[in-house]
Structure 1
Amino acid sequence: MAQPQLIEGQSGLPVDNPTKSYWHKELSNKLLGHRTTKELPRSADVVIVGSGITGSFAAHFLKEKQPDLNIVMVEAREACSGATGRNGGHCQPAIYASAPHIASFELRNFLYLKESVEEFSIPCDWRSTSGVHAFYSKELFETCRDRVDYLVEHYPDLAANVAVVTKGKKGEGDLSGSPAYLIEGERRELTLDGLRIPHAEGAVVQWNAASLWPYKLIAFVLERLLAANEEGSKGSFNLQTNTPVTGLSRAETSTNFSSASGNKTRKHNSIWTVHTPRGIIATPQVLLATNGYTSHLLPQFSDLLVPTRGQISALKPPETPTDPADPPLDIAHTYYIVGEPVDPYARDDYLVQRPPPTAELIFGGGRQHAASRGVGVWDDSSIDEPVSWYLRGELSNAIDLSLHHTQSSGEKASLQKVDLEPTFEWSGIMGYTRDSHPWVGGVPASLGGGPGLWLCAGYTGHGMPNAVLSAKAVVDMLLTDDDADVEIDLPPEYELTEKRVDHVRRVWEAVAVADAKGSLYMDFGPQRG
């Protein structure tokens, strides 16, 4: 699709030819090219722009709370083709790296997802693991260790979710602060050698972490919403893929009116027109679940929510001698690999492993080797070759990938450098914000919005443990009358207000400046989702 002239910092539309994500190698036949109706609906109670984790769960919550709503979801490309379908395949709250109330919010988000997968038997390869955060900067490790100590003293319930592993005699880690309920075997494994990171300065282990197939999670949610149409439920859910939104416009109405289905949402005195190449949709409520692409529709956000390209490789595990008695390589944990000795904020990588028989290592990061660190890039049709070489060759320098790795032998393990063969290499567009927090709420007129326009976006690479409950919060706002007193479960730092916008612009540096200096990494690191 042709891209219009953009202002400085503004994102374009999602490109037609994105790199192929590992998670898109098994697409849903139901969703591929799906358009619930041949023609684009002319009106709707709510229009959702974007079909990733935010948009899909927002639709779920809307229909759960008000089944009679007529919802139209428009997606520029195929369903779940943006950041959710192109991420690192893991979900993990930042227990010690966020303010305690935000850590609690993220933990609730994680547990909601985990329980939903279990309740509905969602076939998304969810695997609960422990999350190992390996620090190769002593300075950064000591900072994070201090944060865990703070939790132990002031928030013991949160502290029970983490353990600190330090260098000890003969490879044995100092487990001060680790949960007392660990059995002996678990405590023995909690050494740097046992965690496959013998050369790290230290580690923090989180007990609540998971790897998953993110596209299949969202496909299940969307297919369930579509199935409700066939079951004769009230209202409707209409998914229109390959339908980019090119613009929004608002008109005041002469009289207040309720939405077409007669539901009990707030009264509306304006109407939004959603413009697409296939026609327009009139609606009183629009929710933008557009993450890094938000500024294309709201240019006023060009300095507040910046598209940033990340890159990931699916790597074949190193070859090992064939022995029927040997199980396949299983690294057992998910990993964050952060910091370098000379620069605490130079590296922010992440790793999960697919189950056998392929057992591919999904390794992402290396943004320090990308042009401009990927900041301001909204085109995911290509990859950065220097990042590709880094991802192929760096993992074995940080993680012990041997089949029989050292558990705690008293001798430091020796890592063997090996270049790994990729089966998939792809890029994806994240949305980085100046204060590293999402923007959730009504968009004020000063930012191109007005009554009825909502935004839930800008996760700074940490969307999986934030997006679902953020979507629930924005739905609660959308369905609440202006004069109603309803408690919204959302960290106040996430709420979209003009006061916050003014504060961010006055106090926080531009994303590109802060990212280049490492300032965005003060909360452990944004590239985590």
Structure 2
Amino acid sequence: MCPSGEGCAWNGGHCQSGYFVSPPHIAAFEHRTYCYLKEFVESHSIPCDWRATTGLFATAKKMIETIQAKYPDIGANIVVVTKEGCKSPSIVLQSERSLKKLTLEDLRVGAAQGAVVQTNAASLWPYKLVAFVLERLLTAGGFNLQTNTPVTGLKRAAFGRWTAHTSRGDISARHVLLATNVYTSHLLPQFADIIVPVRGQVSSLKSSPSAQPAKDPLDIGHTFYFVSDLTDRRDDYLAQRPPPGAELIYGGGRIHAKGHGLGVLMDLSIRDQGNVQGEHGIHSLKPDIEPTFEWSGIMGFSRDGWPWVGPVPETAGGGGGLWLCAGYSGGGMPNAALCAKAVVDMMIPGHGDGDEMAGQVDLPPEYLLTQERLEKARVCETVAEADKKGAFMLDLDIF
């Protein structure tokens, strides 16, 4: 976690429709989430540093061909670039003023075997977006926000209600939604092996004055997702904040963490950071960049790889009125907004149960929380076992 207050709210959030990391119907859902957020931010003029970019990925050719065949509106935004050049120069990149035959060098990934470029990507400051929504709700009235008030327990009460126990008193409600992500098992121990904590690391970097004196900051024009094979296990991302700061936000390196960061929860205790040294020692940095901040966060990796959205079954500690929306496996930006909308639609009285309600935002059936899915997930590999096989990385059957 960033030791200084300045800039700590930025968490390197990058919102990209995940065309290349998911089956086509889920990629389409992620694309709808991107479009929903883009329209929401622009229509309300939300000052959250939203910045349209292009996204660079690596993935299997078959996945791209399937998406282009089944979802031509999405496929039209895809360009494949190899060492031989651009195979389908049919889109205008955010950083280009005209069409041209793109090369890997143009995309700043000259050492790569290949890249996939898509236009629907953006970066933003998530904390500013959330703060704007909360402020708007508080101003409108009828909304009660209690900060620094952790829920210590849940209990099913009489008359179909739930009681949330907190250090400041108890709250009773007919419906309770847990948006607790990796901390879900604190309230529902039955999810301890279903949504597992995994630590992520992020750094903010800027060009050093000696490397770029009296010049405008570099604008990379893209957000990047870097992958390599299971030997190297590179699974990193790079985004950039808007000018004038234009800091580079780099995340990943999980392969270098003890146990790949699995099973790590956030330590929120206040400690002296003065003499803390990383577990891998002090690493040298290139002289042309220097760090401004570094922080960590905890992701919630799902045992079957998909988010959990919907009513919590009684066998998992729930029953009528308890709902969950969590477990994004590091892919919350292109999923969470419409997952939240889907679960709220489910909670509205009179909307029925299950798939009928989720269909209002066309929630992928893989995301719906059911007893059957929980039972199937528990016979899957554990998150740790799947991670060793690279299940949480992109498909590397590339070019």
Q: Which TM-score applies when normalising by structure 2?
A: 0.89
Is the alpha carbon distance of 1:191 and 1:222 closer, same or farther for their aligned partners in structure 2, counting shifts above 3 Å? same
- Give the Å deviation of 1:430: 0.8
1:451 aligns with 2:320: yes
1:348 aligns with 2:221: no
Is the alpha carbon distance of 1:189 and 1:221 closer, same or farther for their aligned partners in structure 2, counting shifts above 3 Å? farther
The match for 2:77 is: 161
The match for 1:252 is: 158
Share of identical aligned residues, percent? 55
1:504 aligns with 2:377: yes
Contact map agreement 2:53 2:120 (CA 8 A) in 1: yes
Is the alpha carbon distance of 1:467 and 1:420 closer, same or farther for their aligned partners in structure 2, counting shifts above 3 Å? same
Matches within 5 A, 1:99-138: 99-133=23-57, 135=58
1:311 aligns with 2:222: no
- Give the Å deviation of 1:427: 0.6
Contact map agreement 2:178 2:324 (CA 8 A) in 1: yes
Contact map agreement 1:96 1:148 (CA 8 A) in 2: yes
Matches within 5 A, 1:468-483: 468-481=337-350, 483=352
Q: For residues 298-340 of structure 1, what are the alpha-carbon distances to aligned partners after superposition, in whole Å with 9 as ceiling and x for unaligned?
A: 100011111111010111224455565x432111111111115
- Give the Å deviation of 1:160: 1.2
The match for 1:200 is: 112
Match of 2:6 among 6, 12, 25: 25
The CA distance in 1 between the partners of 2:367 and 2:122, in whole Å, is 24
Amino acid at match of 2:338: L
Match of 2:18 among 54, 74, 94: 94
The CA distance in 2 between the partners of 1:87 and 1:461, in whole Å, is 13
Match of 2:217 among 322, 328, 332: 328
Q: For residues 408-442 of structure 1, what are the alpha-carbon distances to aligned partners after superposition, in whole Å with 9 as ceiling and x for unaligned?
A: xxxxxxxxx54742211111111100121100000
Matches within 5 A, 1:259-278: 270-278=160-168
The CA distance in 2 between the partners of 1:202 and 1:362, in whole Å, is 23
- Give the Å deviation of 1:480: 3.4
Contact map agreement 1:88 1:350 (CA 8 A) in 2: no
Match of 1:359 among 246, 251, 257: 246
Is the alpha carbon distance of 1:179 and 1:388 closer, same or farther for their aligned partners in structure 2, counting shifts above 3 Å? farther
1:239 aligns with 2:155: no
The CA distance in 2 between the partners of 1:388 and 1:464, in whole Å, is 31
Contact map agreement 2:24 2:66 (CA 8 A) in 1: no
Contact map agreement 1:131 1:333 (CA 8 A) in 2: yes
The CA distance in 2 between the partners of 1:186 and 1:516, in whole Å, is 43
Is the alpha carbon distance of 1:356 and 1:181 closer, same or farther for their aligned partners in structure 2, counting shifts above 3 Å? closer
Contact map agreement 1:295 1:302 (CA 8 A) in 2: yes
Between the two proteins, the alignment pairs up a number of residues equal to 385
Structure 2 stretches lacking a partner, 5+ long: none
Q: For residues 240-298 of structure 1, what are the alpha-carbon distances to aligned partners after superposition, in whole Å with 9 as ceiling and x for unaligned?
A: 00001111000232xxxxxxxxxxxxxxxx11110111111111110000011111111
Match of 1:493 among 366, 381, 384: 366
Matches within 5 A, 1:57-96: 87-96=11-20
SS of the aligned residue for 1:450 comes to coil
- Give the Å deviation of 1:101: 1.2
Larger Rg: 1
The CA distance in 2 between the partners of 1:122 and 1:128, in whole Å, is 14
Is the alpha carbon distance of 1:223 and 1:279 closer, same or farther for their aligned partners in structure 2, counting shifts above 3 Å? same
Amino acid at match of 2:72: P
The CA distance in 2 between the partners of 1:351 and 1:449, in whole Å, is 39
Is the alpha carbon distance of 1:339 and 1:368 closer, same or farther for their aligned partners in structure 2, counting shifts above 3 Å? same
- Give the Å deviation of 1:158: 1.9
The CA distance in 2 between the partners of 1:99 and 1:321, in whole Å, is 43
The CA distance in 1 between the partners of 2:23 and 2:371, in whole Å, is 22
Q: Give the alignment's Cα RMSD to 1 decimal.
A: 2.6
Deviates more, 1:430-439 or 1:175-184: 175-184
Q: Which TM-score applies when normalising by structure 1?
A: 0.68
The CA distance in 2 between the partners of 1:211 and 1:352, in whole Å, is 7
Structure 1 stretches lacking a partner, 5+ long: 1-18, 28-84, 136-140, 230-235, 254-269, 394-416, 525-529
Contact map agreement 2:16 2:121 (CA 8 A) in 1: yes
Match of 2:389 among 517, 521, 524: 517
The CA distance in 1 between the partners of 2:129 and 2:281, in whole Å, is 27
The CA distance in 2 between the partners of 1:338 and 1:319, in whole Å, is 30
1:337 aligns with 2:230: no
